[in-house]
Amino acid sequence: MAGGRLLYLDSARGLLMLLGIPYHVALIYSPDIPRDIHAADGSLIVQWIGGTIHAFRMPAFFIVAGFCAALALERRADGPAWLLGRCIKLGLPFFAGMVLLNPIQMYASALAQTATPAAAFDAFLVMLQTPGRHWVRHLWFLPVLVMLSAGLAPAWPALRRGRAAIRAFAGPRLRGRAGLAALMVALAAWQILLLLVMRHGDTDLALLEGFVDLRAVLYFAPYFTLGAVLQMTAGLARLPADRWVAALGAAALIAYLSLYPPGTAAVAYLFEAASAFTAVAMFALLIGLCRRHLDRPSRVIGVLVRLSFPIYLIHMPIVSVLGLVMKDAALDPVLGFGIMSLVVLALSTAVAGAALRLRLGQALFNGAVRAVPVRRLAR
């Protein structure tokens, strides 16, 4: 801890953001996952790498987000003011990404799917005039975070009054193996129930032409809530991360990868169960590793952590363009995946660093309405 900040938590949050780069690059080289931009030669090894990241990255991210939201509400008495700040912090990058970044991805997708540049341009114009998820893409988690925060803020006064009861009930359970296993079972049951509702209700729970993903809100709400509970019970540092958790996580991950990507309905239900077990176990292990190795000041890690959010926003157009360039290259797919991941990270870091030197760039890509000196990025 330094200056009141949990350095290991900052490191975990930054790492989860940056892992989006190899995950999205892996999709291009995954033979069993159809994409607009897809390499001619895929690799199961790369697909498994992407699957491993996918198994825990976003659930872990929402647990950390819930923890940070509860921590911020604990330190600020004014919940509505905090929520307004969250809307600005997340809303500005969301709309900037839709307008400035996602059209690049649309055009890259059009080029990959059509035979001529003229046809690609026509397809691109159609996408520009059509509402849908292609406008949201990798930014989907931002409105989800806003909606989850909008649910937590008005509930916080009641939660604060019931803190003692929450600590007495959840605190001891989250520190033990049995409680952690029960949590995994509960999350698996919730995800299976959600899938059942979607399949039998014949709905994808998307609103406003896909701009609002209600399914993601419901799916990640328990993880966000778990993060808030961990903050209220001071339980984050006490999560078990021993060999039992590692063995359970490894077994769940093997099951997850054997089902990834899910095909039939029966496989999808098993996949959701494996997903919940994998996500919780790997989150506990990740937090344990970060507490052990990254809970100290570091200039390099500090810069990457503070740049991680704009890096994530900016990386997808670069992935799309490089994917077009490299999808037919005569390279081993594992090598191509490694090279492309490093190049995307380097370019995204350079562009994010340059953008944050401008006050407008800080607002658009970091949601900062007040200028922040660049030298603070290294602190």
- Is the pLDDT reported for residue 376 higher than 60? no
Within a domain: 227:
yes
Within a domain: 109:
yes
Residues 6+ apart with CB under 8 A from 235: 170, 171, 174, 175, 229
| Dihedral, 28, 30, 33, 37 alpha carbons, nearest 10 | 20
Within a domain: 62:
yes
pLDDT (tens digit per residue) in 223-258: 999 999 999 998 888 899 999 999 999 999 999 999
Q: How far apart are CA 85 and CA 82, in angstroms?
A: 5
Within a domain: 290:
yes
Q: Are 354 and 336 in contact (CB under 8 A)?
A: no
Handedness of CA 369, 375, 378, 379 (dihedral sign): negative
Within a domain: 2:
no
Closest CA to 197 of 218, 183, 178: 218
Q: What is the mean predicted confidence (pLDDT) over 170-174? A: 91
**What pLDDT, on a 0 to 100 scale, did the predictor assign at position 301?**
82
Q: Give the confidence band of 266 by pLDDT, cuts at 50, 70, 90.
A: confident
Domains of the chain: total: 1
pLDDT (tens digit per residue) in 108-139: 999 999 989 999 999 999 999 999 999 999 99
Q: Are 216 and 264 in contact (CB under 8 A)?
A: no
Higher pLDDT: 218 or 5? It is 218
Average pLDDT value for the chain: 92
Within a domain: 1:
no
Within a domain: 70:
yes
Within a domain: 338:
yes
- Is the pLDDT reported for residue 60 higher than 90? yes
What range does the domain containing 66 cover? 7-378
Q: Pick from 45-49, 168-172, 262-266 the range whose average pLDDT is largest.
A: 45-49
Residues 6+ apart with CB under 8 A from 204: 198, 215
